[in-house]
Structure 1
Amino acid sequence: MRLLILSLLLVIEIIIESTVFPFIKIGGGFPNLVLITIISFGLIYGKKEGIFLGLIGGLFSDILFGTVVGLYALPYMIIGYIMGIFNERVFKENKIIPFIFTIMGTLFFQGLFYLIQYLRGAGALYIGQIKSIATISLILNSIIIVIIYPYFLKLSNWHVIKEK
């Protein structure tokens, strides 16, 4: 039940990202709600949920935004797994933890995403453009995680999706 509810949350976020965010881009970048959710629930629940949510969020993102299946799924799954590793090693209620891991996750996602783009021979962006987009996404994701992570923690205590 938990994975179904969290998957539906990802679908809603992807719909928001595909319908609203293209109109509010700031310098070519915009917040990545799916990445924020994968980071958050990877930290809260662990590797299994992190990988699964990374796969679901990545496949839906690939369908809507990508030209190749796996362009989003691979980085999201890796990030979900990495965040899941830290599940038992960090105090999840600490407000700085999601902030720090969102910075790391966003940088890792941007680097891996553009590396995959480069390796598949897609039109290359200049380093300056990548830095600009990554910086804007990093700032927006870091601000948003501070606002929504407490709600994700409350959601994780909801009896329908609470850990076993």
Structure 2
Amino acid sequence: MKPLSTIVQAITGCLLIISCNHTPRARTVQVQSSANESVKDYPSHPKTAEELRQELAETEAADPAGMLLISGTMQENKILIQKPDLFHHSKYATDGYMISGIIRNKASIAPFKDAIVRVTFYTETRTELDHKDYPVYKYVLAQQVTPFELKVYPPESTKDFNMEVVSATAIRN
């Protein structure tokens, strides 16, 4: 019987310790809002898929510069001025530069067209020489990549350039 009484005393001691360590839960205080505070109206029904798509399309269409990413390279535009013959090599002249690149639309839904691309020309020390805006008359569909080419005439000391899309026209469905 002695082991049974020891077990009963141990269980009683554990229950006593647990009941002493139990903390009551925090009470929640309810506060009523006054009549002049505005309460946000929530729609009585959840938005449909079409409403959500329309809202996303409007948000993306409002920020074409943020949705369109651009990259490309610039090379001399060489024009053949003399064909090779038995006694002469070909001769070329430089007529500006060609920028070949892509415009990537990262929007989920919104398509764009007629992007305005700003090309900024820099010196070797990254001093800005000039910038010009060029239209790219192409469609840039959602989640697509669109290639383009621009003919540019950079300033004499140009060693580097940068491009960015400054605007575009959103296509409304």
TM-score for both structures, normalised by structure 2: 0.19
The structure richer in strand per residue is 2
The structure richer in helix per residue is 1
Q: Return the index of the structure with the highest Cα Rg.
A: 2
